[in-house]
Amino acid sequence: MALDIEALREEFPILKREVDGKPLVYLDNAATTQKPQCVIDAIVHYYSYYNANVHRGAHRLADEATKAFEEARDILASFINAYQREEVIWTSGTTESINIVSHGLAQLLQPGDEVLVTEMEHHADLVTWQQACLAAGASLKAAPILDSGELDIGAFEALLGPQTKLVAFPHASNALGTLNPIKELTAKAKAVGAWVLIDGAQGIAHETVDVQAIGCDFYAFSAHKIYGPMGIGVLWGREELLREWPVWQTGGEMISTVTYQTATWNQLPYKFEAGTPNVADAIAFGRAVAWYQQLNREDVHAHEQALLASASQQLAAIEGLTLVGTAPSKVSVVSFIMAGGHPADIGFLLDRQGIAIRTGHHCAEPLMNRLGLPGTARASFAIYNTQAEVDALAAGLRKVQMMLM
């Protein structure tokens, strides 16, 4: 049975608001998704009824908080098919997750070693490796993309070799929507003995993620991209790697023993969870994933792909508008430029019509330089978006075009 989009929209209170007297058309989901009421309620319930620090308390509230906190970890472990729950590390989001790996990598790399990324990276999956390589005297290489926004697989494979220590790439491009063949890329990287990290920020809400089937070593993602709260995310890593990986931050919880001269580290996952964790948002993240898992994934995918196809067709028909990123396999992201209009102006004029999009280089400045663009306007769709909102975007852009002429 197809999704009941109108019933689903009723679960998102923010979708009822207006902007300048017009119904909100929220098309900035690649930046952050909105939250269903059950996720909001989970946060309020925690702070209202069992707010306490976790793991070491000797009272009822601490026990309840710890139980809910660790149950959320179990939900996430099952969601991505982790080998074991201890591989799920709570972080502040994708950026911190990648930084944990790059911080350790900087201590493991040697001069002459290489890290391979792609030309479509978000800054979080580029600058991190750049700095690790600079610290270690290693080299960073970027596999090129085609003009369509697809990764050049042949060039990617040619850059792999015995000197390649880690390969990182996005599950999907935040700027173009390009969906990468992650299992294929992982297999090619593993064939030369490299570690593989996947930036899953844009993949987690649109594609089924099975880390065992993918074969990667690390997968990083954020709650707020999949209907959860901001400020919480996950680094998944293979247990045997995480066990030996250098620690990220030191402090409480991540230690086993401490003297004034030495310290030893706690077992997984706590080795990488220094300090008081973001308990409320971890619990709410688990609630968001549990809510999402109740939906039929095939229906979700079909709905989002229908919105993408309609938006791509309608926008391509607007004279003077050019789609940027036309890979045949994409998540529901449409980037574009318009003759005579700066992306910022397009975004402003759409906002006055109640339509929320994203503009700029999308934290992918080298990619924009590769494409010869200062930036793009970007509309991105989620499960609660409708065909009527796609139509409103196209109509709104035609109005923008008239204003800019």
What amino acid is encoded at 270 in this protein?
Y
Q: How many CB atoms lie within 10 A of CB 190?
A: 16
N-to-C CA span, the chain? 45
What lies within 8 Å, CB to CB, of 240 at 6+ separation is none
Residue pair 120/175 in contact by the 8 Å Cβ criterion: yes
Q: Retrieve residue 130's tokens.
A: 């750049």
Q: Which two tokens stand for residue 360?
A: 């700029």
| Euclidean distance between CA atoms 403 and 405, whole angstroms | 6
Residue type at 1? M
Q: Measured between alpha carbons, how far is residue 367 from residues 91, 175, 209, 329 in Å? A: 27, 9, 25, 18
363 is an active site residue:
yes
For 256, the token pair is 């086993």
The dihedral through the CA atoms of 1, 380, 155, 101 has a sign that is negative
Q: How far is CA 306 from CA 173, 177, 227, 290, 310, in A?
A: 19, 14, 20, 25, 6
- Cβ atoms of residues 242 and 105 within 8 Å: no
C-alpha triplet 103, 104, 108: angle, nearest 5°: 125
- Nearby residues of 125 by Cβ (< 8 Å), 6 or more positions away: 98, 117, 168, 169, 170, 197, 199
DSSP 3-state of 99: helix
Indicate which residue of 38, 133, 216, 363 is catalytic: 363
Residues labelled as active-site residues: 363
